[in-house]
Amino acid sequence: MPTRILIVEDDPDIAHLVVRYLEKAGFSTEHVASGRDALQAVTARAPDLLVLDLMLPHVDGLEICRRLRATEATAGIPIIMLTARAEEAEKIVGLEIGADDYLAKPFSPNELVARVRALLRRAQRGTPATSTLSYGPIALDTERHLVLLAGQPVTLTAKEFLLLEYLLKHRGRVLSRDLLLTDVWGYRYTGGTRTVDVHVRRLREKLPVLTDALVTVKQFGYKLADPPAPSPAS
């Protein structure tokens, strides 16, 4: 079945443009014009990806994002947020509550399609030969899209999961913010590298073992240090 995208946008002209370009790219779309209808649509049938406007009637986009991330069944849905607000503070708020990507209006519909494809490609890519990565008490199962901390499941957004996977695969290497944006987000991100910092902070909060292990390299990027060797048996 084609990938299904839910578009939540109350401006009919923008909604029509987004629907037209996404369907032309081969996606199946559904459009709703209010936050209340969006929550009902997601509950009825979870989409593969959500294109979410910030300013909506009834329930705004930030609240929708909060509710979806707080519910296990919907926590992993990739979310691209749209808004007329271009201020840095608004971008950070959206990323802080779990949006995977951000586009400020006016935007290029072709860029939106490219970002949708990049996000879906990384969320749905094939399973590697080794499906489990480990780091101390952290276990990441790429096949089941599951992260465990000391055996207990931890809910990550799609982008948090992919960033953690990338860090685990490249442990010990110093990774620039630009490299992380290109390899994890899948394109040359024009909105600034702060999005990487926000996602790193959320990983540290959800996985406290990374607080010291995920080292900030000043004015450059991050490095996941090699885990300490186990103590020899006495």
Cβ distance 4 to 47 under 8 Å?
yes
Position 80 in a domain:
yes
Whether residues 49 and 76 share a domain: the answer is yes
233 in a domain, yes or no?
A: no
Where in the sequence is the domain holding 34, given as residue range(s)? 4-124
Helix axes 35-44 and 61-69, enclosed angle (nearest 10) = 30
Same domain, yes or no: 141 and 117: no
CATH number of residue 170's parent domain:
1.10.10.10
- Are 16 and 76 in the same domain? yes
130-161 per-position pLDDT tens digit: 578 999 999 998 877 889 999 999 989 888 99
Please indicate, yes or no, whether residues 110 and 171 belong to a single structural domain of this protein. no
Instruction: State how far the Cα of 157 lies from the Cα of 228, in Å rounded to an integer.
Output: 27
In a domain, 212, yes or no: yes
**pLDDT band, residue 93 (cuts 50/70/90):** confident
pLDDT of residue 131: 73
End residue of a domain, out of 124, 154, 171:
124
Strand ranges (DSSP E) for 88-170?
101-104, 132-135, 138-141, 146-149, 152-153
Q: Is 113 found in the same domain as 18?
A: yes
Please identify, among 78, 96, 124, the residue that sits at the C-terminal boundary of a domain: 124
CB 123 within 8 A of CB 151: no
Q: Is the dihedral of CA 40, 41, 46, 49 positive or negative?
A: negative
What pLDDT was estimated at residue 15?
95
Which domain-ending residue is among 64, 96, 124? 124
